Amino acid sequence: MNPIRKKRIYSILFVFLFSVSGISLILYSLNSNLDYFFTPTELKDRNIPADKRIKVGGMVLSGSVERISSSISFVITDYENSIKVEYEGIVPDLFKEDSGVVVLGNLRDKILYAEEVLAKHDENYMPPNIEINDDN
C-alpha cells in the first residue's frame, strides 16, 4: 500500500472511531438520565432503583393531603392503585384534591420523595395520557 493511501485509511478509521465513541458516550448519558413516566398501576409490578428519577402522574386522592410545617404529603391514585408522595416546598397554585398532578422524584420503600410537583392546568404541565379506566 502506498503511504498516502495508508494515511488516508488511518484518518478515516480515526474519524470513525472518534465519532462512534462520541455518539455512544452521548447516548449512554442520555439513557442514564431519562425520566420515565408511570401511572401508579404501572409502578406496581416494577422494581425501580432508588437512584432513578421517575415521573408519576395521577389524581390527588381526596382527604389524603397532610401538611406538616412546610412539607406536604399526599397520595396519587389512578383509581386502581395509589402511591404516597412526600414533598418539601410550595405546591403549585392549582394543586388540589381530586385534580391531576405529576410528580418528579425518587422512589424509596414505596414512597415517592418528590423533587418537583406539577399540577394540571399549570403553565408547566405536560399533559400525559393518564388513563382513568373504570372499565373493570
Partner 1 sequence: MIIEISHFLSVLATGLFLLVGYFSILTPSSNSSYISNLIVRTYSHGFFFLLSSFLIYVWLAITDNFSVQYIANHSNTALPIFYKISSIWSAHEGSMFLWIVFLSLWGFLFNIRVKNNEVLKPKTMGVISFILVGFLIFLLATSNPFETILPIPPLNGADINPVLQDPALAIHPPTLYLGYVGFVIPFASAIAFLLYGDSKINWEALVKTWSVSAWVFLTVGITLGSWWAYYELGWGGYWFWDPVENVALMPWLAATAFIHSLGVSIKSSQLRIWTILLSILVFSLSLFGAFIVRSGIIDSVHAFANDPDRGLYLLGFIGLIVFTSVFLFILRLSSIQSLSRIKKFSKQSFISINNILFGALIFSVMLGVTYPLIYEFLFDQKISVGAPFYNAIFIPIVALAAIFLFFSVDSKWSRSINFKFISPPISFSILLSLAFTIFVMQYFESHSISILASIFAGSLIIFRYIYEIVNFIFTKKFINPFSVIAHMSLGLLLISISFNSLLSTERALSINLNTTESYKDLKISFKDIGVENNANYDSIKATFLVEDQTGRTFNLKPEKRRYFTRGQITTETAIHITFLRDIYITIGDQLDDGSWIVNIQINYLIRWIWLSALLMGLAGVILVFSNSVKT
Partner 2 sequence: MNLLLKLIVFIVPTIFLLLFFMILTNEDTYPGADYDQFQIPEFELKVLDNTMTVNNDLLNGDYVLNVWASWCITCIIEHPYLTSLSKNGIPVIGLNYKDEQEDAIIWLKKYGNPYQTILHDYKGNLALDLGVTGAPETFLISDGRVVAHYQGEVNDQIWNDVFLPIIKDRKMF
- Residues lying near partner 2 in the complex (CB under 8 A) are found at 8, 11-12, 15, 98-100, 120-121, 129-135
Contacts 24+ apart (CB under 8 A), 128-131: 128/37, 128/55, 128/57, 128/102, 130/39, 130/57, 130/58, 130/59, 130/78, 130/100, 131/39, 131/78
Tell whether residue 53 is a contact of partner 1 (CB under 8 A): yes
- Choose the one of partner 2, partner 1, none that binds residue 50, judging by a C-beta under 5 to 8 angstroms depending on kind: none
- Which one of 7, 16, 22, 99 is in contact with partner 1 (CB under 8 A)? 22
Q: How many CB atoms lie within 10 A of CB 12?
A: 10
- Which one of 41, 48, 55, 80 is in contact with partner 1 (CB under 8 A)? 55
Reference 117, options 84, 78, 90; nearest CA is 90
Q: How far apart are CA 64 and CA 76, in angstroms?
A: 9
Q: Judged by CB, which is closer to partner 2: 24, or 71?
A: 24
Number of residues that bind partner 1 (CB under 8 A): 31
Tell whether residue 91 is a contact of partner 1 (CB under 8 A): yes
- Which one of 12, 13, 34, 132 is in contact with partner 1 (CB under 8 A)? 34
